[in-house]
């Protein structure tokens, strides 16, 4: 579910009069803002508030915060509209909070999967569909043009793969050096060893993409004049795009495009 679908979903529920779900959506947005906008990492270092802030960012703390915001929202609305704050208002706040927690959880899992398998699927499924689309497009004619496009894509992808890895190498080394500057040589060593292992895995897929782009380029003349030129061109195009997809999947899985900086 992407952001647009989420908005559509909330809107549809509002149109159908299912206001509780809309309130739940709004509540989860408020909770998200509180946890990410107000209770920022800097706040965690404050004496007393910091401990509470850190706890509110845990799973249990998130549930408690959502319920609290739901109840306070219900009480606030009742007071603003000059209604009495009774048990019904409090219960309604709890129900809204529970719905809000559900909406928050669904959105978080769909938009930001924590599981590596989910992360891999999130990127590999659209890429596989893209490859299928271009394969059909190749089979429908103009296959040598598609072959050239795929070769160029794989080459540019190979360079982007290497450039990104190099940029992220700088960031990760900077992060390891920070540990060293803090006086923890063993921690810095561990940080470097872990990163070098990830670097090697990512570098291998960049080299694989480069290898296949070069092989496709060298084979172009033979493919174009072969009796089964179309079948060969389609096969090469799939191989080239699949190698690119492998890089994208691995980078997403290892967090190489959006590295964490300590």
Partner 1 sequence: MEEILKIAGSLAVRAVGLVAMWAGAKTPEEREQIRVNAERAVLALDPHFAEKDAEDKAKQDALRADIEAAKP
Instruction: Name the site residues for partner 1 (rule: CB under 8 A).
Output: 134, 145, 148-149, 151-153, 155-160, 162-171, 173, 176-177, 180, 185-186, 188-189, 192, 196, 199, 203, 206-207, 210, 213-214, 217, 257-259, 261
The nearer residue to partner 1, 105 or 149, going by C-beta atoms, is 149
Least distance to partner 1 from the beta carbon of 225, Å?
Answer: 15
Least distance to partner 1 from the beta carbon of 59, Å?
Answer: 26
Least distance to partner 1 from the beta carbon of 156, Å?
Answer: 6
Least distance to partner 1 from the beta carbon of 19, Å?
Answer: 37
The nearer residue to partner 1, 120 or 214, going by C-beta atoms, is 214
The nearer residue to partner 1, 14 or 171, going by C-beta atoms, is 171
The nearer residue to partner 1, 67 or 212, going by C-beta atoms, is 212
The nearer residue to partner 1, 22 or 240, going by C-beta atoms, is 240
Least distance to partner 1 from the beta carbon of 85, Å?
Answer: 43
Q: What is the DSSP string of the chain?
A: --HHHHHHHHHHHHHTT-HHHHHHHHHHHHHHHIIIIIS-GGGGGSSSHHHHHHHHTSHHHHHHHHHHHHHHHHHHHHHHTT----HHHHHHHHHHHHHHHHHHHHHHHHHS--SHHHHHHHHHHHHHHHHHHHHHHHHTS-HHHHHHHHHHHHHHHHHHHHHHHHHHHHHHHHHHHHHHHTT-HHHHHHHHHHHHHHHHHHHHHHHHHHHHHHHHHHHHHHHHHSTTHHHHHHHHHHHHHHHHHHHHHHHHHHT-SS----
């Amino acid at each position: 579910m992407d952001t647009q679908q989420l908005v559509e979903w909330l809107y549809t529920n509002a149109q159908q009069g299912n206001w509780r779900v809309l309130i739940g959506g709004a509540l989860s947005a408020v909770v998200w803002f509180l946890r990410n906008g107000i209770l920022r990492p800097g706040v965690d270092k404050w004496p007393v508030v910091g401990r509470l802030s850190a706890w509110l960012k845990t799973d249990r703390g998130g549930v408690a915060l959502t319920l609290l915001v739901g109840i306070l929202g219900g009480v606030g609305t009742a007071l603003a509209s000059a209604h009495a704050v009774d048990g019904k208002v409090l219960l309604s706040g709890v129900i809204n909070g529970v719905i809000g927690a559900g909406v928050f959880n669904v959105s978080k899992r769909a938009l930001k999967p924590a599981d590596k398998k989910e992360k891999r699927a999130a990127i590999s499924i659209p890429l596989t569909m893209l490859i299928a689309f271009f394969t059909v497009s190749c089979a429908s004619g103009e296959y040598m043009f598609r072959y050239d496009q795929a070769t160029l894509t794989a080459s540019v992808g190979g360079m982007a793969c290497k450039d990104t890895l190099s940029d992220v190498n700088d960031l990760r080394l900077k992060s390891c050096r920070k540990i060293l500057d803090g006086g923890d040589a063993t921690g810095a060593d561990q940080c470097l060893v872990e990163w070098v292992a990830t670097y090697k895995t990512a570098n291998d897929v960049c080299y694989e993409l480069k290898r296949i782009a070069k092989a496709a380029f060298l084979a172009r003349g033979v493919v174009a004049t072969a009796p089964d030129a179309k079948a060969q061109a389609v096969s090469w195009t799939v191989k080239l795009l699949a190698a690119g997809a492998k890089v994208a999947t691995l980078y997403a899985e290892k967090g190489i495009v959006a590295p964490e900086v300590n």
